[in-house]
Amino acid sequence: METEPQPPKPGLQLIKADAIRKVLQGNAEEIEQLVARAYQAHHQQETVNPDSYFLRFPDSDRNRIIALPAAIATKDLQVSGIKWIASYPANLSKGLDRASAVIILNDAETGYPFAVLEGAQISAMRTAASAVLGADHCSNLGRRVKSIAFVGGGLISRNILYQFCARGWHIGKVYCHDLNPDTAASLVDHAAEGCGLAAQSVGLEQALDAELVVFATNAVTPYLPETFQFSPGQTILNVSLRDIAPQQILAAQNVFDDVDHCLKAQTSPHLAETLSGGRDFVAGSLTQVIEGNVTLTDRKPVIYSPFGMGVLDVALASYVYAKAVARGDSLELPDFFGQ
């Protein structure tokens, strides 16, 4: 009796940091377009993006590990996956990165994992692309800014600055404020030597006066004074989500990557909702702005708050996976599952 031929055993590809770096460098425009398409797919309900899951520890309010599962089902991409990312701020004093991560991609038909990728670079780059996409569409700057200030000078800020430069923004001056002077100096040196920009370390007050302000810290509660006011027309990229007092959120036009995702987990917008008892401060989503369904004015500051969605990680990881495998920059484990 003849037996039916068995399907090939699923294999697993490992993609390391060096291979990922090669793919991400030099593809800023393509990556930003990919992020925009992922947001559009989410807006059109072609994704599944559950809430992020936070593993916290009773002996530390700063350390956490976050799981971001997501699935994409568009005409061009069908894939599921999860990012597992740890944030341990004290790592910096040990000479280690604050964030470390892996991303697992799953086959849409069988559910089998087919790739494991180093995730911190992908996470940082999708965050940067989302931030600059927001600046492109939530401001009237026309990619020309007199001053841009980074509150927090770490890896995320470095990636955002790289993305601004790679996308052709003309930047008059870069300011950086960080509680660690060495971290601020490192970003200033990178801006000057790596990007050819005038840059300096400044106090918080001067940083907040920049035409465009980027918050990229590890703050867990707001520290800006309740009485502080951003200027009309000023653009704020609220990447770290917990620096700004709810009073500043309520006084601004607020754009989100996803409103429901961002208004939770004690983010500044979540605190604003709790304080005000509603969502009248919400202008809309970034996709609505891009599609012309939300109009912003210069009469108020604009705050863009990207919560950071798993669909972005899965979309960018799929892009990196395809490029790396095509280049032969992956390690195949054909018998990983052992069936």
Residues 107 and 146 reside in one and the same domain:
no
Q: What is the pLDDT of residue 1?
A: 41
pTM exceeds 0.85? yes
CB atoms within 10 A of CB 25: 11
> What is the DSSP secondary structure assignment for residue 217, as one 8-state letter?
-
| Same domain, yes or no: 212 and 288 | yes
132 domain residue, yes or no: no
Q: Give pLDDT tens digits along the chain (339 positions).
A: 444 555 556 789 999 999 999 999 989 999 999 999 999 999 999 999 999 899 999 999 889 999 999 999 999 999 999 999 999 989 988 989 989 999 999 999 999 999 999 999 999 999 999 999 999 999 999 999 999 999 999 999 999 999 999 999 999 999 999 999 999 999 999 999 989 999 999 999 999 999 999 999 989 999 999 999 999 999 999 999 999 999 999 999 999 999 999 999 899 999 999 999 999 999 999 999 999 999 999 999 999 999 989 999 999 999 999 999 999 999 999 889 876
The pLDDT of residue 11 is: 86
| In a shared domain, residues 212 and 101 | no
CA distance 326 to 42: 28
Contacts of 146 (CB under 8 A, 6+ apart): 172, 173, 211
Structural domains counted in the chain? 2
Amino acid at 149: A
The parent domain of residue 239 ranges over: 138-307
Round to whole Å and give the CA distance between 51 and 104.
Answer: 17
Q: What angle do CA 117, 309, 139 make, to 5 degrees?
A: 120
pLDDT value at residue 92: 86
CA-based angle 40:45:47, to the nearest 5?
Answer: 85
- Determine the pLDDT at residue 5: 52
Residues 291 and 158 in one domain: yes
Among 173, 128, 122, smallest CA distance to 15 is for 122
Indicate if 325 and 245 belong to the same structural domain: no
Cβ atoms of residues 324 and 23 within 8 Å: yes
